Chain A
Amino acid sequence: MIAITIQQGRLFDPANQLDVITDLHINHGRIIAIGEAPADFTASKVIDAKGMLVIPGLIDLSTRLGEPGLEHFTTIARETKAAVSGGITSLCVMPDTDPVNDTFAVTELIQRRARQAETAYVLPVGALTKGLKGEALSEMVAMHREGCVAFSQANQPVVNTQTLFNAFDYAATHKLLVMMRPIDAYLGKDGVAHRGAISSALGLPDIPSAAETLALARLLLLAEETGVRLHLSQISTARAVEMIQDAQARGLPVTADVAIHNLHLTEFDVADFASFMHVQPPLRSQRDRDALRAGVKAGVISAICSDHTPLMHDDKLLPFPESVPGISGLESLLPLLLALVREHVLTLEQAIKAVTHQPASLLGINRGSLQVGAPADIAIVDLEADWLFNRRQLISAGDNTPFHKWPFTGKVHTTLFQGRVVHQPKLA
């Protein structure tokens, strides 16, 4: 382990209300001091962070990293490299792998691959039901012991309400976190675009907002009844923000996240059938987007994620409705977040806490802050760097991004994971 000093950066940590230009010292993989170095400390490496922002490494609540199932296409090693190049040091991995992460053996495999790569903290999310089929409960306790931080159905709804009730009851018994995407099993099942002006005009099969709010109401009512700790993943509608706000106001301990692309794009971006704009949940109306932004500001939505889904070239090389939904999002999460700050949609504090200590606290992990004693997961960001996002230069195997050629200001300079430099600028 090398001792590192990050010199004269602007340390920015919403968890500790820290915003100060000073040094940060790292040893044995942990942050050991801020400001003055301890008496016996000698840095073997000094990183000059003058003029840069030093923030906790980002925590992404929804990603897909290819393993197991798509090893021929990409690996945890490659995707975590992509993550740290975008300042993300902790990643929740959705259970819709192949095979599904519904036993501790699959959880263990994911953990082993992540340990071998040693690039980022990979947090498996287990399947709530076996095979995500919504029929039988998976061995949640055993998977939790193996490292699953939460349980989810990914994109698969549980059709049988009794089974969903039981799954929540069982998770509540063991105080396990459940992360659910509100999706109705039937309404909008064959849809590919938001039910609105664009789907009407282009004749695309649509997904009404009620496909989300119906499912959300069911999840909220069952959470209330069972007492399960519920987190709502990737909400997309204005009405859902209201419903979650109401539930929170009544004291229900529910949290929610939103995918960063739903804070930027709307149904209008689908207008020329660009398959890179095909996502699930769909890009919705401008009113929905604005309500999601307001929901982040108000704290109703406490986390912003990439919902990273690397896809093979052929998956998008199809007419829009036939293309596979999803965005390769790890490398655009932070630049898109900083764009919202520059556009005065969010303050820097609101943006950073939604990808650091808020997701950490809802997962219950000791990350996402610059606290002395915490693991040294750190992103050093050059807020002034202007650059063009280019899908041909992505580290991720998936080049499926709608943000190709978007101009960004603000770029990750260096990323540290547990006190080691895992990403640094290429030598010119």
Chain B
Amino acid sequence: MFGYPGLSTPNIQLNDAGKLKHLLTLEGLKPHHIRDILDRADGFINTDTRQIHKQPLLKGKTIVNLFFEASTRTRTTFEIAEKSLGADVINLNVATSATKKGESLLDTIYNLEAMQADMFVVRHAESGAAHFFARHVAPHVHVLNAGDGRHAHPTQALLDAYTIRHFKGVDFSQLRVAIVGDILHSRVARSQIQVLNLLETEEIRLVGPKTLLPHDASAMGAHCFTDIEAGLKDVDVVITLRMQNERMSSARLPSEQEYFETYGITEERLKLAMPDAIVMHPGPINRGVEIASRVADGPQSVILDQVTFGIAVRMSVIAGIMEEQVTSA
């Protein structure tokens, strides 16, 4: 999917019929997979009233939210989505220190399987962890990646695509999207680039200082901009990413203030984008670091819509992956 010559990754997330069995990454999926998920999400929400439609499709099914990395927000939205589908939900926050050894990491999974889990929603600090889980679970168990290291966060990217579609229409082929901030360390950005490419977005720009940009953006199907003004010029969508404190301690940025000065999304800079451009953020926001409060709370911000749509999109993903179990139920 990145256009590499000779890359033939066996796609372990698809079953023999080409349907999603796990969702680990958007890489290797076809546009119809994405459209199915987004279309199905429409059925779970009234986008005028923002009302979620609860449907007990997964009554009697058990979903384990297995978080090796703390995240209250993501876990909560997953939990709401799972409960809205009528599933039994178990939340497990596993201290990574207890799972330093491979066997005990697997033992955690095997034990939960033995407790009749039907799906794991996994978050882990290492890239590739979701693939690791998918390789080792029993055949009937599904794995949903809720973020692995810097690699992928597919449901976040899907809800972003849903949000863009809501505001900009189903045709992405005329859209210019700028993703601004720490692309290098961002699983969100990697998945966003993939979903935007699958939906044939006109142009995907990655904007930030060289210390936070990936080495080979063209292989990912995106273009790098180190100049914020050039990067924002005439775009239809501005996605800002959260800036972690860690980037200062690891000497990739001098200070939050200097970052805001050079790359922060201000009202002034936003004027460079199209007049009807929308501003997005995966949350939680650092006001005055990556985004000015007046922009975050301003008329072009759709940040809270993302949160609500996220529930419907996650319901859609979960119901889609467990479809066979749904229909047989």
* CB of B7 closer than 8 Å to a CB of A: yes
How many B residues are at the interface, by size bracket? 35 or more
* CB of A136 closer than 8 Å to a CB of B: no
Interface 1/0 per residue, B92-134 and A, CB below 8 Å:
0000000001110110000000000000000010111101100
Contact A318 B214 (CB under 8 A): no
Contact A272 B9 (CB under 8 A): yes
The total number of A-B Cβ pairs within 8 Å is 88
Residues from chain A with Cβ under 8 Å of B185 in the complex: 203
Which residue on chain A has the smallest CB distance to residue B150? A203
Which residue on chain A has the smallest CB distance to residue B185? A203
- Least CB distance from B69 to A in Å reads 12
Residues from chain A with Cβ under 8 Å of B149 in the complex: 203-204, 319, 321
Contact B215 A195 (CB under 8 A): yes
Among B129, B190, B216, point to the contact of A319 (Cβ < 8 A).
B129
Contact B128 A202 (CB under 8 A): yes
Contact B131 A203 (CB under 8 A): no
- In the complex, A203 Cα to B149 Cα: how many Å? 7
Interface 1/0 per residue, A193-207 and B, CB below 8 Å:
001111111111110
Contact A200 B215 (CB under 8 A): yes
Contact B103 A314 (CB under 8 A): yes
- In the complex, A197 Cα to B214 Cα: how many Å? 9
- Least CB distance from B277 to A in Å reads 27
Contact A203 B219 (CB under 8 A): no
Which residue on chain A has the smallest CB distance to residue B218? A197
Contact B2 A273 (CB under 8 A): no
Given contacts A271-B7, A273-B131, contact A197 B216 (CB under 8 A): yes
Contact B102 A202 (CB under 8 A): no
- Least CB distance from A399 to B in Å reads 14
* CB of B187 closer than 8 Å to a CB of A: yes
Given contacts A273-B128, A273-B132, A321-B127, contact A200 B219 (CB under 8 A): yes
Contact A202 B105 (CB under 8 A): no
- In the complex, A198 Cα to B107 Cα: how many Å? 30
Contact A320 B126 (CB under 8 A): yes
Residues from chain A with Cβ under 8 Å of B66 in the complex: none
Contact B126 A319 (CB under 8 A): yes
Given contacts A203-B152, A272-B9, contact A197 B106 (CB under 8 A): no
Among A205, A272, A313, point to the contact of B131 (Cβ < 8 A).
A272
Contact A319 B124 (CB under 8 A): yes
Contact B128 A197 (CB under 8 A): no
Which residue on chain A has the smallest CB distance to residue B103? A314
Residues from chain B with Cβ under 8 Å of A202 in the complex: 127-128, 151, 190
Contact B4 A319 (CB under 8 A): no
Contact A203 B215 (CB under 8 A): no
Contact A203 B216 (CB under 8 A): no
Contact B215 A204 (CB under 8 A): no
Among A196, A204, A315, A317, point to the contact of B128 (Cβ < 8 A).
A204
- In the complex, A343 Cα to B73 Cα: how many Å? 54
- In the complex, A206 Cα to B186 Cα: how many Å? 14
Which residue on chain A has the smallest CB distance to residue B124? A319
Which residue on chain B has the smallest CB distance to residue A323? B102
* CB of A170 closer than 8 Å to a CB of B: no
Contact B126 A321 (CB under 8 A): yes
What 5 A-B pairs are tightest by C-beta distance, nearest first?
A: A203-B150, A273-B128, A317-B102, A197-B219, A200-B214
State the B residues within 8 Å of A (CB): 2, 4, 6-7, 9-10, 12, 27, 101-103, 105-106, 124, 126-129, 131-132, 148-152, 185-187, 190, 214-217, 219-220
State the A residues within 8 Å of B (CB): 195-206, 268, 271-273, 313-322
Can you list 11 A-B contacts with CB-CB less than 8 angstroms, sorted by A residue number?
A196-B216, A198-B4, A201-B220, A204-B149, A268-B4, A271-B4, A271-B9, A316-B102, A317-B105, A318-B105, A319-B126
